[in-house]
Structure 1
Amino acid sequence: MQVVYFVNSGSEANDVAIMLARLHTKNFDIVSFRNSYHGASMGAMGLTALSSWRFNVPTAHGVHHAMNPDVYRGLWGGSKCRDSPVQTSRECSCSEGHCKASEMYYGQLEEVFKYSLPRGKVAGLFAESIQGIGGTVQFPKGFLKKAYELVKINGGVCIADEVQTGFGRTGEHFWGFQMHDVKPDIVTMAKGIGNGFPLGAVATTPEIAESFTQALHFNTFGGNPIALAVGSAVLQVIEEEETQKRSAEVGSYLLKKLEKLRDEFDCVGDVRGKGLMIGVELVSNKETRAPLPAKSFTDIWEDCKDMGLLLGRGGLYANVSFFFITTSH
């Protein structure tokens, strides 16, 4: 990828990616996954399939939400299905190198192409490498690679939403999509690129970027000198302080510690993630996976804050904790 278009946020980046996909392919329909979050603008909200993040207003048309390939809460999945130091406690009949859950979820995606898209043609597929706001949900092994192949066959482009997973957050790779062994056509990014400063970007190929020459497109503050200076400084710190390496080391340590808590406490249903993109799903019943009520989660959240630990929260039921910590914690 040789072309970068700078914006101010992840929502803007995904809006640009929608337009590029449609202009380049001359197709209209977009596919994303249930439980995904891609932003709060009218366009990005259409991609988003989390009811807690959608308002009762018109959003982007022509978006289809495929079944979410969640190996913990979904129809299929088990203890060998995801690329993580910690696996779900669900039983699994998969063999090494062959994930049955991946095949079943892929079959559901094929159904969307077969029944919902005009002649099967698609403009693009949006996918987070790990679903962030949705609760740090990881796809089963091999699923995204097969999904990308399906999109290519049907005339579309593949868009990697790296707003949360990019810049070494997942530890093993700089970009989250690399863990899936895929090559997207468009990559959207924000958050980590500016370390809190309003900065986002869309990276793509010259061929796809050429689509923007059909008319004028302008962003008043996108790519302003101060924002780019901040982004450059962030990249320097990431390299000099080896934050990606630290994410891998601290993340693996933390995941193993959290796995022990999952096995010890009935309220911890699942622990998952890569690097320092980690989620802990709290439940009221481990067998049924019934989510912990929001009020109970809020009480735990406040107790942690009083003890000096700040947690994020996500998931459809707002019962998944996010961790941003070091081994000293």
Structure 2
Amino acid sequence: MTTPDTSRLPLSLPHPAPPPRPYDGPPREEVIALRRQFLSPGLVQYYREPLLIVDGQMQYVWDETGKQYLDGFAGIVTISVGHCHPEIVERVREQVGRLQHTTTIYLHPTIGQLAQKMAAHMPTGSGLDVSYFTNSGSEANEIAILASREHTGNVDVVSLRNSYHGGTQGAMALTAHGNWKFKSSPSHNVKNATPGYCYRCPYGLEYPSCDVRCARDIEELIRYETTGEVACFIGEPIQGVGGVVTPPPEYFQIVYDIVRRHGGLCIADEVQTGFGRTGEHFWGFENWGVTPDLVTMAKGIANGAPLGACVTRPEIAQVMANRVHFNTYGGNPISMTQGLATLEIIDKENLQENARVVGNHLRERLEELKTRHRMVGDVRGKGLMLGVELVLDKTSKTPASAATGEIMELARERGLLLGKSGLYGNVLRIKPPLCITRDDADFMADCLEETLTLVEAQS
């Protein structure tokens, strides 16, 4: 594909500003050289020319040259209330100066306060009151699987094809996405069911005449590929790495019922969908009218600090006392302080409602692009967790993988950072901080309009 002309850059950010402070770090070439020599080659880079980010304020970041970008990917769906939110900065600064680390073998007030806050945000009457804090979503999912197996006495786990649940050995076993699985990592006692990916239905059916066959097929999987009893099912309410795949309304109700009839617990992986990002509800699973037995989370929980959690009912949590289990950094005072501040700011600044209002507006703008551009095959998601699947043409639905990369490069030139996902790398991931404005949303849509026009003209 010919690289589109990037000389014409008429768009301007809605809130231009100078960098918060001058950059006085090592030059870009030195940063690249250090990375190449001393860091793992497995680290992912999106852009042809590596991007050096040195400053952030709310929904914006700056590179070492002072160029400003709207962060449309929120540090991989992690910055929820904004980069360097002043209240978080102040509270963490105070905590760092007081106590940096102690473990859960001692008492510390903030860990209990955050756990209480988490319980208060769960559905009324759900009994989801007990938290186990970790450093990441991978660890949180490991805890959820361990607790489910201990509680049920069963070992088989059902996850979904196209899912992503983390990079540790157990979490990688749950992941059913070939790009993220190593050949040497075992996947014992994990079965992969069919996701609700209507745009690419593996059965060639259409909703709703399909009777949601993808969900009902889990019953056959359990009957044929397990003992007929399972420990649990784990699913993302909206698949993130899989391409913002958003299932039909009945999907999780059907799946949860089948799993529970076969002795299993239900786990909602809220690492990307939680904390108000989907707008209508605080948790992604609430959009589907279900209540899980365990909820795992990370990313937006602490606005960038390494923190994850598994929240469940007391009788399930009790099994973790069957043996000694410990997490050195899980629940440390700094992460707890940042997590508590993040949840309080989400509530105080009404960011869930902002995600709903601004997200709905952005979704409408993206749907308009679909009517005007032949490469926009599907627009999906909720709130500020949106995806645009790009195809070469809408009849064949051939993934436009190369074009997706070109659009990301062009968007970067114009001051917009986006993500990409899906098995073929052809889905634009639009998941900005929850504090973005309507003007920011319009800038994103206008930027995509312009870049799509350029790429389509060259293909």
TM-score normalised per structure 1:
0.91
- Report whether the alignment pairs 1:303 with 2:414: no
Match of 1:28, SS state, is coil
Deviating runs (4+, > 6 A) in structure 1? none
- Residue 32 of structure 1: aligned partner: 159
For residue 5 of structure 1, what is the amino acid of its counterpart? Y
- Residue 278 of structure 2: aligned partner: 170
Unaligned runs of 5+ in 2: 1-127, 444-459
C-alpha distance 253-300 of structure 1, shift in aligned 2 (>3 A): same
- Residue 388 of structure 2: aligned partner: 280
- Report whether the alignment pairs 1:321 with 2:432: no
Contact 1:102 1:141 in 2 (8 A): no
- Residue 304 of structure 2: aligned partner: 196
For residue 190 of structure 1, what is the amino acid of its counterpart? A
- Residue 223 of structure 2: aligned partner: 114
- Residue 319 of structure 2: aligned partner: 211
Cα distance between partner residues in 2 of 1:274 and 1:283:
21
Cα distance between partner residues in 1 of 2:386 and 2:367:
11
Question: What do residues 205-235 of structure 1 show as CA deviations (whole Å, max 9, x unaligned)?
Answer: 1100111111000000000111100001101
Match of 1:145, SS state, is helix
Unaligned runs of 5+ in 1: 79-91
Aligned 1:120-131 pairs, distance under 5 A = 120-131=228-239
For residue 297 of structure 1, what is the amino acid of its counterpart? T
For residue 302 of structure 1, what is the amino acid of its counterpart? E
C-alpha distance 234-77 of structure 1, shift in aligned 2 (>3 A): farther
For residue 194 of structure 1, what is the amino acid of its counterpart? A
Match of 2:245, SS state, is coil
- Report whether the alignment pairs 1:2 with 2:111: no
C-alpha distance 126-102 of structure 1, shift in aligned 2 (>3 A): farther
- Report whether the alignment pairs 1:146 with 2:257: no
Contact 1:142 1:180 in 2 (8 A): yes
Contact 1:69 1:102 in 2 (8 A): no
- Residue 263 of structure 2: aligned partner: 155
Cα distance between partner residues in 1 of 2:282 and 2:429:
20
Question: What do residues 7-61 of structure 1 show as CA deviations (whole Å, max 9, x unaligned)?
Answer: 0000000011110010000000000000000001000000001111111112341
C-alpha deviation, 1:244, in angstroms: 0.4
Cα distance between partner residues in 1 of 2:309 and 2:250:
27
Question: What do residues 137-174 of structure 1 show as CA deviations (whole Å, max 9, x unaligned)?
Answer: 01112111111011111111000000000000000000
Contact 1:122 1:156 in 2 (8 A): yes
- Residue 85 of structure 1: aligned partner: none
Cα root mean square deviation, aligned:
1.3
Contact 1:102 1:140 in 2 (8 A): no
For residue 317 of structure 1, what is the amino acid of its counterpart? Y
Equivalent pairs, count: 309
User: Relative contact order, CA 8 A, sep 6+: which one is greater?
Assistant: 2
C-alpha distance 64-298 of structure 1, shift in aligned 2 (>3 A): same
For residue 226 of structure 1, what is the amino acid of its counterpart? I
C-alpha distance 235-271 of structure 1, shift in aligned 2 (>3 A): same
Identity %: 49
Contact 1:124 1:156 in 2 (8 A): yes
C-alpha distance 2-107 of structure 1, shift in aligned 2 (>3 A): closer
For residue 152 of structure 2, what is the amino acid of its counterpart? T
Which of the residues 172, 177, 198 maps onto 1:71?
198
C-alpha deviation, 1:238, in angstroms: 0.2
